[in-house]
Amino acid sequence: MSEPTVIDALLAELGAEVVQLPRDFGSRQLQDWSGVPGAVPAALIRPRSTQDVAKALRVCHAFGQAVVTQGGLTGLVGGANALGGEVALSLERMSRIVEIDRTSATMTVEAGVPLQVVQEAALDAGFYFPLDLGARGSCTIGGNLATNAGGNRVIKYGMMRDQVLGIEAVLANGEVTSAMHKMIKNNSGYDLRNLLIGSEGTLAVITRAVLRLRPKPTAVATAWCALPDYEAVTKLLALSQARLSAGVSAFEVMWAGYYDAVLANLGQLRAPLDKRHPYYVLLESVGSDPERHAEAFEAFLGNMLDTGIVTDAALAQSEADALAFWAIRDAPGEYPKFIPHHSAYDVSFSISDVGQVAEVCEQRLQERWPDALVMIYGHLGDGNLHIVVDIPGTQGRVHDEIDNVIYDVTRDFHGSVSAEHGIGVKKKAFLGHTRSDAEIAAMRLIKSALDPRSILNPGKIF
């Protein structure tokens, strides 16, 4: 009689209803949105509860079996793809909203609940859950936590780690570390929560979370601004943050190269202003004082025009106007229509360096490829730049060369090779551009301490 395999043991512990073999999940989505190919996992485990997750990990730990945890598979760096040999652990069945506590302004959820479901439940309860990204319909809270997701409104509300008060997670050996607290302040020992958030499934499987809800904004003001130079952009950022009492909820900057390319190629977009300008900013402020909000925003904008910091501006007079401005910023969703083979980067810098970084990147790319299309835009309030490059006629073949140009500049300006997407497998080679050897050594020590058999998402991050 042969020894039982890890699959036998998983089936014995959890049953065929929870543990599926490849023949049973044949047509399933197996890879994320990164374009990195995903392997077929040896089995697909779909736990119904934290206890199921604990059981699965205890078995995998005993066998030294690698596990890749999967949420909505919308990641952009291959972090949730199987590389070969793993079992996949999908949290799709753990998708309940457990409780909404109106007095504490918290929502307790299982990790598999989609972001959009949380957003809508918050609104229904009279609150607001501010994290928002394009994949909202498919991505899950567990994935948002594993990658510390960002998005458009980080400038006002912070990233995913700022939206959560407590988490429950299962460690590699099957131990459940439950810290489902609702307190905002808790200085009792190490901050395990923030360590697990953003660790891309390599330290634990996050199973539940207590989310922090915010008051629902009741007023919004949006403007499309044109600016003469990068210095004016940083001035507008500082002044809008200093003078708009409700704060700034979006400060999306677009370089002329981006604006020109998307307007030229996407017929449905309409130009908010008559003339062409070097820089554009989509400025948004949400607040809760409908009576005074619009008036204060308009007065501020008028002052910016008077002082010449803003050359020209269009104020949204309706939701349709605001949507038309956002359509220009959200044009990257339409790239496949005109630059299907582009290379895209998500990098961050100190705000004082961003202007020069953009210049240097453009210059180095166009030195090497004179006809390079370089589109630059981003969440400037967070120092987060998106750079999109297309070299006509190369069909994506020079992707690695473009990587080197962008990431070398990132290293030289002490930036981050991943502002919000994570490292996964796609950016592994460049981790050392942002994190020092000593930091990476410390990360490895923590990884070995918490996952000594290296079963959790091996081969990711480092």
By CB under 8 A, the residues from 174 to 193 that bind a copy of itself are 175-192
Structure letter (DSSP) for residue 448: H
148 binds a copy of itself (CB under 8 A): yes
Calpha distance 427→417 (Å, rounded): 7
Other C-beta atoms lying within 10 Å of the C-beta of residue 358:
23
- CB nearer to a copy of itself: pick between 272 and 355: 355
457 binds a copy of itself (CB under 8 A): no
140 binds a copy of itself (CB under 8 A): no
Q: Which stretch binds a copy of itself (CB under 8 A): 16-24, 33-41, 272-280, 342-350?
A: 342-350
Q: Which two tokens stand for residue 114?
A: 């989609």
Structure letter (DSSP) for residue 93: T
359 binds a copy of itself (CB under 8 A): no
Binding mask 94-113 for a copy of itself (x = CB under 8 A): -------xxxxxx-------
State which of positions 377-416 bind a copy of itself (CB under 8 A).
379, 381-384, 414-416
356 binds a copy of itself (CB under 8 A): no
Calpha distance 69→80 (Å, rounded): 6
CB of 196 to a copy of itself, least distance (A): 9
51 binds a copy of itself (CB under 8 A): no
Calpha distance 87→104 (Å, rounded): 38
- CB nearer to a copy of itself: pick between 92 and 200: 200
Q: Which residue has the tokens 């981050």?
A: 416
- CB nearer to a copy of itself: pick between 78 and 272: 78
Binding mask 276-295 for a copy of itself (x = CB under 8 A): -----------xxx-xxx-x
Binding mask 294-333 for a copy of itself (x = CB under 8 A): -xx-------------------------------------
242 binds a copy of itself (CB under 8 A): yes
Calpha distance 181→314 (Å, rounded): 45
Size of the site for a copy of itself (CB under 8 A): 98
Is residue 256 exposed (0-12), middle (13-18) or buried (19+ Cβ within 10 Å)? Answer: middle
117 binds a copy of itself (CB under 8 A): no
Calpha distance 376→359 (Å, rounded): 10
State which of residues 203, 282, 322, 372 lies at the interface with a copy of itself (CB under 8 A). Answer: 203
207 binds a copy of itself (CB under 8 A): no
- CB nearer to a copy of itself: pick between 334 and 382: 382
Contacts of 223 (CB under 8 A, 6+ apart): 282, 283, 284, 297, 301, 313, 314, 315, 316, 325
One-character DSSP codes across 337-372: HH-TT-EEEEEE--HHHHHHHHHHHHHHHHHH-TT-
